[in-house]
Structure 1
Amino acid sequence: MVHLSFASLEFAGEEFALTASNALYWPRESALLVADLHLEKASFYARHGQMLPPYDSRETLDRLALAIRETGARRVFTLGDNFHDSAGADRLEPYAAGMLAALTRAVDWVWITGNHDHELHDHQTGDGSGGELAEELEIAGLILRHEAKKGEKQPELSGHFHPRLQLRVRDRSIRRPCAVRSESRMILPAFGALTGGMNAADPAILKAMQPANAIDAVVPARGRIATFPLWRAA
C-alpha cells in the first residue's frame, strides 16, 4: 500500500500515486515518472523572436526536486520531450544546469527521448552523472515510452499529448492537467512549467488509447483520485 499523502490509483495490477505536481510515483520500483518537461522552451521561443521570461527550466526543476523529496524516489524516468528541442541542453543557464546536474547525481535517472528531443546524445545530458538515454524501456512488465504505440499489447505508460480535463461546473469553465487511463494504457499529464494542454476527450487522445473498454480522465483531489469518464465501448 502507498503510505503517502498523495492520490493512490491502480493501473495494470500495480499501485501508483499521482501527485498534485503531475508526477506519477511507483512505490514498488521507488520510481518517479514525469512526462514532457520541455526544458528551455522559453529560450527556444526567444531565439525565434517571442520573448518569454527565461525561468521555465528553473521552475520545472524546482518542482521536480520537490517531488523527489516528497516521495523519496530513488529513480526517475522522464517520458520524452525532456527539452523543447535537441539543442536545449546546451542553452541551460548555469543555475538551472547546476540544479539538473545535482538531481541526476542524486538518483538513478533515465531520459526517454521524444519527438522534440529525439536527437539528444549522451554528451548533451552529461556522462554517468547526467543520466542515461533510452528510446523506451520495459520495467516490471510495463512499457515506458514517449508516445502511445498502436497495437501495443503490454501495459504502457506514455506522455506526448499533455492531456487536460475540461469541465463546466456551475457556469464556470475548469481546465486541469490530468492523466488518461484505460485498462492497459495511461498517458501522463505534462510536467513542464511552460506546457499547454489538449482536451483529454480529444479524438486524437481517445484514438491513441485504443484498444480499450473504458477511458477515464483521472486527477488528484484532496488526497484521492477523481475519475471522469471520457469514453465507453458500445
Structure 2
Amino acid sequence: MKSHTRQSRFAKLKTVAMIAVAVLMAKVLVSMVTEYRNYFPPNFEAVFLLGREATFQGAYPPAFYTHIIASPIALLIATYLMLSGKWRTHATLHRRLGKVQLGLVLGLVVPSGIVMSIWSFSGPLAGWGFATQAVATGVTIVVAARYAMRRDFASHQRWATYCFILLIAPLLFRIVAGLTIVTDTETIVGYQINAWLSWVIPLALFELRRYRKASRLVSEPTAAEGST
C-alpha cells in the first residue's frame, strides 16, 4: 500500500514538473518571438544582433530570417505530432502534418541552421555544435519518416522524439544563456559549451530513461518467475 502511495505521489510530482517545464518552454518561445520586432528591420543594438553588423551580409540574412520564421512553426507542429501520435481520431491530420514537417525541417530549418552556424558569433566550436545539431535534426526526421512508412510505429515514435528534443534544444540553450546573463557568469567558453550540451544532455537523458525502462521490463518477468 505504501509503495503504491509513493508511486502515485511520484507520478503526480512528475506531471507537475512536466507542466512547469512546458510552461517555461512556452514562455521562452514567446519571449523569442516578441524579439522579432528588433529584426524587421535589423536592430544591431538588440541582444541577438548586437555586434553582428559586420557579418549580417551575404547568405546570412536570408538564412537568419528563414530560420527564425520556420523554426517556431516546426516546433509547434512537432508538439502537436508528439501529442497526437496515439490519438486515432487525429491519424489523418497527423500523417499530413508529418509530411509538412518533413519538408519544413529538411527544406528550411536544417539548411538555414547550417548556414547560420558558419557565422557563429562565438567561433567555430559553437558553430560546429549548432551545425551538428542541425544535421542531427535532419537525420532524425528522415529516419522517423522511414519507420512511419514501414508502419514500425514504436521506432517511428522513438526517432520522432529525438527530432522533437533537437527542435526544443534552442529553447534550453536560451534558458541557460539567460541564466548566465542574470548571474553575470556569461563567457565565450560557456556559450560554446552550451551550444553542445543544450542538445546532447537532453538526448542522453532520454536514452537513459529508455534504458532504465527496458531494464525494468526485463527484470519484472524474471522476478515473477522467481516468486512462483
> Do they superpose with TM above 0.5?
no
Higher relative contact order (CA 8 A, sep 6+): 1
- Higher Cα Rg, which structure: 2
More strand by share: 1
